[in-house]
Structure 1
Amino acid sequence: MKNYIKVDEWKIIEEGFDPHVNKISESIFSIGNGRMGQRANFEEKYTGETLQGNYVAGVYYPDKTRVGWWKNGYPEYFAKVLNAANWIGIDIRIGNETLDLNTCKVKEFSRILHMKEGYLERSFIAELSGGREVKVHSRRFCSIVDDETGAIFYSVTPLNFSDVVTITPFVDGDVKNADSNYDEKFWDEVHQETGDKSALLVMRTKKTGFNVCTGMMFSVVSADGQGDYPSQPFSRNKYVAHEVEVNGVEGKEITVRKYVANLSSENYPVEILRDECQKTLRRIAAKGFDKMLVEQAAAWALKWQESDIVIEGDAAAQQGIRFNIFQLNQTYTGEDARLNIGPKGFTGEKYGGSTYWDTEAYCVPFYLATAPPDVTRNLLIYRYKHLEKAIENAAKLGFTNGAALYPMVTMNGEECHNEWEITFEEIHRNGAIAYAIFNYIRYTGDKEYLTDYGLEVLIGIARFWRQRVNWSSDRNQYVMLGVTGPNEYENNVNNNWYTSTIACWCMEYAIEAMGYVRESNAEKYRSLVSKLHLNEHEETSAWKHIIDNMYFPESKELGVFLQQDGYLDKEQTLVKDLNEAERPLNQKWSWDRILRSVFIKQADVLQGIYFFEERYDEATIRRNFDFYEPRTVHESSLSPCVHAILAAKLGDEQRAYEFYLRTSRLDLDDYNNDTEDGLHITSMAGTWMSVVEGFAGMRVRNDALHFNPFLPAKWSSFSFNILFRGAILNVRIEREYVTLSNQSEKPLTVCVFDKPYEVNGGGEVRAEYKPVAGNV
């Protein structure tokens, strides 16, 4: 675990330059706006260890896999978000010496992510040869107002010398992905041009044919206000730049303002891409950097008004949750149903930047409560539009009759994960997609979604589960063989309790949804029966028979559900008995040793208990929690949040708070030694869940919000806003009271510790704070 980020409630601060953690900082200080994102690489040249990263939403490349693609059903490629043209570049040369923090002496250095206003700031003093010192100050952001653009303010001040300062703003498309399977570059140049202090570059992806136009405009101004320095344009393959020479004067600042646009053929016809890029550049350059930054701060103020969580009395906890919320809002806005949320967002290449089940299981609750319903609806429609691909994916594996298997990893609906134990066996992802439909409808009340979109998806998923189980004559029950549950430290197991549980629930929910649509819209139902060739009686009877006769492993003696068959055959060593030097296991142990061990990567049985907690009494939840948590190494970013929520429900303050800190500061403190390749964006939604569903105990029951709060000892209070069915509710939890403030005109009935309160539009009520473990 690292501990070099300074604690501040609204800022992420790094003081002093340590090249050994630079890639970690490049991830932590990333910026984005839902359309594009940028790692915290330096504007000026840096020859030290770095992971260059600029990403454009929806643009990907199908990188052919190295192994397995010749096997039936195995994906031939792994879809990857691409490192696109480097738009931040501003090379600096002092006299004949290039400014490079890897080769000069760094005397002062700070990097600050201003989360409240939405921009990144960096400043340093570097000592060059001959003792010459230069000061640099930069600010940059990806605009959420003009969401295909970015802007940079960059200043250079010679502190103890005068000399020529050569400034070279550029756009460089000669980039590659660090994770390219065959070390190839994924872009071809289509067009380049330079103009008056402007330039643009059009690049096209190989195979997929996405065109991205990256353009820049800039100005250079000296301390005396001179700003008409002649610039010398130059270019080479995949690279356009301007060179500006300024007579640097001791103590006098030289400032550069650089405006950039990234426009994609996903959003514009190719033939007008360049013109639109130039129009966009002229528009934002006319605004100027300062006005754009004011607009950025105002737009972020609205986002914080919707989604902020205020924690009083614990600055580290406050910084952690705001960092998570900030990155979520930078990653996904919900304005484009073609886009989804990659596990690394716009902060790195790992996991390909593709869509996983993380979106449905972890991100949906955050967007339901902090954004209009259309945002989450778009996430669900994304999957609906991929239903035909899900049916094709299942057919490749031998499934028939419209059975749908959604991909573990995808960009376009086609499976592209290239690890067999995940691709073929981690099929519980189907359940997460069905659960997201249920969760959306439970929260919004929008049952018509079932009629318009949801039922088709649910039937395809139920058909898959029917064919995926088989009858065991030995057990006289249905079994689920050869699966991988959420705990990926177990592969190819039989009867994973979570997978079997969610499979049966999916079939139950499909039957319920069919009944609703049949009764509420008979015409639509008849149309779906015809479209899907649905034999309702035969299919639902088969589903019910599986539900009633499914085998679930459990230990009667211990009173726990067993993660899978044979789990108790393993040596029951606990995490506390591990040598800390052997952690994390996935970086220290062989895979064979991990698979034979009892250790759990993330919540598995507990994931199912979290989803379906209303089925289990407190004693059952506690037994399973106390059994599995000591065996869990939490080496998945998705693990601590589920444990925090369940620990809070059980009134286990110590573990709830410990897991909250772990999930909220997972990347800030580099808990799992893996932040350098990107942040864990989808688990950040789980951090929000840890507070709202964990400490605040929020649930939706019978069309109403319920809260059963639990206030950690280190916090004097915490508060947040919830958007629920057209109303905005502020919830504040203190030692004596829970205060509910309705910030909208719509009245709400809200339950606190199971007691209902009427909160009129614009009104406020107080409830006594009296937590009881297990009453969430």
Structure 2
Amino acid sequence: METTRATLDVHPWKISTSTLDKTKRRLHESITSLGNGYMGMRGNFEEYYSADHHGGTYLAGVWYPDKTRVGWWKNGYPDYFGKVINAVNFIALDIFVNDTRVDLANCNYKDFYVELNMYDGILSRQFVVDLGNTQVKFSFERFISITKKELACITLQAEVLQGTAEIYVVSKLDSNVQNEDSNYGETFWQERNKEVSEKLSSLTTQTIENPFGIEQFVVTTSMTHNLKPKKIKKEPLFISNEFEFFLETGQTVRLEKEVLVITSRNVPEEKQIEQAQKLLQTYGTDFSTLKAEHSEAWHKRWELADVAITGDDKAQQGIRFNLFQLFSTYYGEDERLNIGPKGFTGEKYGGATYWDTEAFALPLYLALAEPSVPKNLLKYRYNQLPQAYYNADKQGLKGALYPMVTFNGIECHNEWEITFEEIHRNGAIAYAIYNYTNYTGDTSYLKKEGIEVLIAISRFWADRVHYSKRNKSYMIHGVTGPNEYENNVNNNWYTNKIASWVLQYTLDNYQKYEKEITISLPKMEQEKWQDIIDHMYFPVDEQLGIFVQHDTFLDKDLKTKDVLAKNELPLSQHWSWDRILRSCFIKQADVVQGLYFFGNHFSLEEKRRNFNFYEPMTLHESSLSASVHAILAAEIGEIDKALEMYERTARLDLDNYNNDTQDGLHITSMTGSWLAIVQGFAQMKTFDETLSFAPLLPKKWQSYAFHINYRHRLLFIKVSNEEVELHLNHGTPLTLEVYHKKYTLTDDLFVQTKNS
């Protein structure tokens, strides 16, 4: 398995290396990605690089609907596959020294170093080009501002260490870009306008036409520099400002590049260049000031979000890396946006929204952001309710079916086992409403928009089940559960469980708030739902004492994963799909996912038996798997297994566990490291209107500490070998439980740690 362990330094606040490994360039580009929720990019070099790499710049909400291409069409297939598209390369700085092009794939260099400073939100790099009689040290810094969403800043400093250097720099805006994931060589941008001057050069492009009525996005990218260019060039989809410097030994020059990116999502085409000029005047061009403001904003984010671990620098680096990339992708300012599994770091999964957000991301944003942020995630789905009705109707079903993959609410995934069968995602949308309401205590969304969504989803489940006369039970056939290594199974336990739960949760809240709800739910329909709830079929095995993953799972040749050779893993990259589907090996939490969601429905012994049965067959080849297992392992007292699963989720990308980080980071699963600590080791639960903790401390760690927002209060929790500290930093006193004993937290509370 390819790994970055040998070349990435371990540091609590930095991702760095002094090695340029050509075989890992794509990997490091993913890991050193930057973003600000509005736009982002992979950690590409500013200068030309001729060896294998993946250049990528992406703009939130800008995408293209590509025609669905399948071997043969099936009724119900989506018409198009939506995907994020690579946008203008605005960091480009081609560099020539004494007529030699600087290209680290070919030229002689030394003292290479790259560093992502997560505390400040700055990516920096340096190296020395050695041309024999001439040596020039190049230093770069760049950031994408989290205080000024349209702004990115790049600096290049050249210092002549030896000899004489004629340095020529070509600063570019280049929209001659393609996507890597599909449509190789196809261009998605067409030029609309260019305006160039010594002060501000702008390139306006538009996405090409599509036959599906999806809007064509218009993007204007503008650049300005601290120095006057020698020459300005214009070519199709391209603008450059060119600079020339003559330096002797000991002399230094610094070029600063400020970029503004404006899209038609916010500003109409005819006003974009004018808006860029206004922003340039408003923002100013002082790089030091802009950098300080950006870094200070990151420091403020860290004050709330940081999880401090002592005794294990790798664990510390992992959680901070994940939090940094999460908040670089989404911080909740725009309710039209959601969280793509790759964020701004790659094109795999099309850059669209999955169920990951509701199942894994929402809990973190509930605790680490203002209440408006998770509420915006709920509004995102509510605003797409009409499209969910459309998706269900396309399958010939009533109610609403939320998509597996989407940009606008319409399903745009073109694999039948996902589009038609992985319908458990519908339950995650409803669970998010419960999670928000349960955590915040705010019922306002539930009683208005939320109940509409819940009823629509419940009507889908009521139509999707069928009644088995032979078993006198309701069943759900032909599904794919969370374990995507099995398709078209009957009675996936998790799917049946979440369907039944949605119906019950909807009924309970409709009846509780009926006088405050404007939507009507006929009595006959309520009775039908209750009958489904009362007679839902759940596959179980009494002898083993487990919930059976689906009807025929126990008929498989059951083996544990330790029989697999290392060169067979990841299984998805070595076995045929047919062989995988027939095997007992599990991609990710399935039954265990239900035990996690509905933890107050099951006894500790039920959790232990199911965990011990399924985890040895689970390969964790989905990035979403390890965190759920870490949480359950901690709860049942398997602290070493919990730590193993934490390390896997926290360093999934840094250590490239699944040999796919080169395609982009696993953004939505990055919440898993936080979940594993807060809901796993600290055992934070919010069932039944009660906030509770039962903290454990891994043997390798000396302590860990974190903040959470909870019902208008700010709490600080620190766990060491000796004691659990709880501090009420803001808000009114709170009654909570620690190790199942009630306390009233008015200021500070200290409880002796009980490790199992």
Task: Identify whether the pair has TM-score above 0.5, normalized to the shorter chain.
Answer: yes
CA deviations over 1:410-449 (Å, ceiling 9, x no partner): 0000000011100100000000000000000000011121
Q: Which of 219, 226, 230 does residue 219 from structure 1 map onto?
A: 226
Deviation at 1:281, TM superposition (A): 2.7
CA contact (8 A) 1:575 1:599 kept: yes
Distance 2:563 2:552 in 1: 22
Contact 1:16-1:109 within 8 A present in 2 as well = yes
Match of 2:661 in 1: 675
User: Which residue type is aligned with residue 440 of structure 1?
Assistant: Y
Equivalent of residue 496 in structure 1, options 485, 492, 495: 492
Once residues 175 and 363 of structure 1 are traced to their aligned partners in structure 2, the CA distance between those partners, rounded to angstroms, is 31
Partner SS state of residue 181, structure 1: coil
Note the aligned Cα RMSD (angstroms): 1.3
The 1:230/1:114 distance shift into structure 2, 3 A limit, reads: closer
Alignment of structure 1 residues 441-456 onto 2, 5 Å: 441-456=437-452
Q: Does structure 1 conserve the Cα–Cα contact (< 8 Å) formed by 2:9 and 2:16? A: yes
1:551 aligns with 2:534: no
Aligned counterparts, 1:201-350, within 5 A: 201-206=203-208, 207=210, 208-220=215-227, 229-284=228-283, 286-350=284-348
The sequence identity of aligned pairs, in percent, is 49
Unaligned runs of 5+ in 2: none
8 Å contact kept, 1:69–1:75: no
Tell me how far 1:109 sits from its aligned partner. 1.2
Q: In structure 1, the residue corresponding to 2:88 is in which secondary structure? A: coil
Counterpart AA for 1:261:
L
How much does 1:283 deviate?
3.2
Q: Indicate conservation of the 8 Å contact 1:153/1:255, yes or no.
A: yes
Task: Select which of 693, 707, 727 maps to 2:679.
Answer: 693
Compared CA separation, residues 342 and 181, structure 1 to 2 (3 A): same
Name the structure 1 match of 2:546.
560
Q: Please point out which of 499, 506, 512 is paired with 2:508.
A: 512
Within-5 A mapping of 1:167-186? 167-181=169-183, 183-186=185-188
Query: AA paired with 2:445?
Result: Y
The 3-state SS of whatever aligns with 2:239 is strand
**Which of residues 51, 69, 74 in structure 2 aligns to 1:71?**
74
**Counterparts of 2:463 and 2:726 in 1: how far apart (Å)?**
48
1:230 to partner: Cα distance: 4.7
Following superposition, the deviation at residue 270 of structure 1 comes to: 2.1
* Partner SS state of residue 158, structure 1: strand
Query: Which whole-Å CA distance do the structure 1 matches of 2:302 and 2:250 have between them?
Result: 39
By how many angstroms is 1:182 displaced?
Answer: 6.2
Change (3 A) 1:561 1:367: same
- Whichever residue aligns with residue 420 of structure 1, its letter is W
State the 1:475 CA deviation: 1.9
Q: In the alignment, is the contact (CA less than 8 A) between 1:118 and 1:141 conserved in 2?
A: yes
Aligned match of 1:711: 697
CA contact (8 A) 1:487 1:602 kept: yes
Residues 57/82 of structure 1: CA separation in 2 closer, same or farther (3 Å cut): same
- In 2: Cα distance, 1:416 partner to 1:57 partner: 17
Q: Confirm or deny: 8 A CA contact 2:478 2:490 kept in the other structure.
A: yes
Q: Find the aligned partners of 1:156 and 1:539 in 2 and give their Cα distance.
A: 73
Question: How far apart are 1:539 and its partner, in Å?
Answer: 1.0
Of the three residues 414, 424, 430, the one matched with 2:426 is 430
1:36 aligns with 2:39: yes
1:707–1:288 distance in 2 versus 1, CA, 3 Å: same
Compute the displacement of 1:64 (Å).
Answer: 1.4
Q: CA offsets per residue over residues 711-741 of structure 1, 9 Å max, x none?
A: 1111111110010111100001111211111
Contact 2:226 2:285 in 1 (8 A): no
Q: Deviations over 1:35-59 (max 9, x none)?
A: 1101100101111111111111111
- Other-structure match for 1:528: 519
Q: 1:463 to 1:645 in 2, by over 3 A?
A: same
The aligned counterpart of 1:223 is none
Q: What is the distance in 2 between the residues matched to 1:510 and 1:717?
A: 41
Offset, 1:173: 1.0
Number of aligned pairs? Answer: 748
TM-fit CA distance, 1:77: 1.4
Deviation (angstroms), 1:69: 7.7
Residues 618-629 of structure 1 mapped to structure 2, 5 A cutoff: 618-629=604-615
1:568 positional shift: 1.3
Say whether residues 1:764 and 2:739 are aligned partners: no
Q: Which amino acid aligns with 2:711?
A: R
Is the Cα contact below 8 Å between 1:38 and 1:54 reproduced in 2? yes
Give the structure-1-normalised TM-score.
Answer: 0.95
What SS does structure 1 have at the residue aligned with 2:532?
helix
Structure 2 residue matching 1:159: 3-state secondary structure: strand
Q: Deviations over 1:80-122 (max 9, x none)?
A: 1111100101111112211111111232211111001111011
2:623 aligned counterpart, secondary structure: coil
The 10-residue stretch of structure 1 (104-113 or 687-696) with the greater mean CA deviation from structure 2: 104-113
Residue of structure 2 equivalent to 1:224: none
Contact 1:345 1:353 in 2 (8 A): yes
Q: What residue number does 1:597 align with?
A: 583
SS at match of 2:109: strand
The amino acid of 1:696's aligned partner reads A
| Alpha carbons 2:178, 2:184 under 8 Å: kept | no
Instruction: Tell me if the contact between 2:134 and 2:165 (Cα under 8 Å) persists in the aligned partners.
Output: no
Letter in 1 for 2:691: L
Deviations 1:16-75 (A, max 9, x none): 110100100000000111111011001011111111111111111001122168422101
- CA deviations 1:126-151 (Å, max 9, x no partner) are 334x5643211111000001111110
Asked if the contact 1:68/1:418 (under 8 Å) is kept, the reply is: no
Q: Is the 8 A contact 2:229 2:241 kept in 1?
A: no
What is residue 464 of structure 2 aligned with on the other side? 468
Deviation at 1:278, TM superposition (A): 2.0
Q: Secondary structure at the match of 1:67?
A: coil
Tell me the distance in 2 between the aligned counterparts of 1:92 and 1:653.
Answer: 53
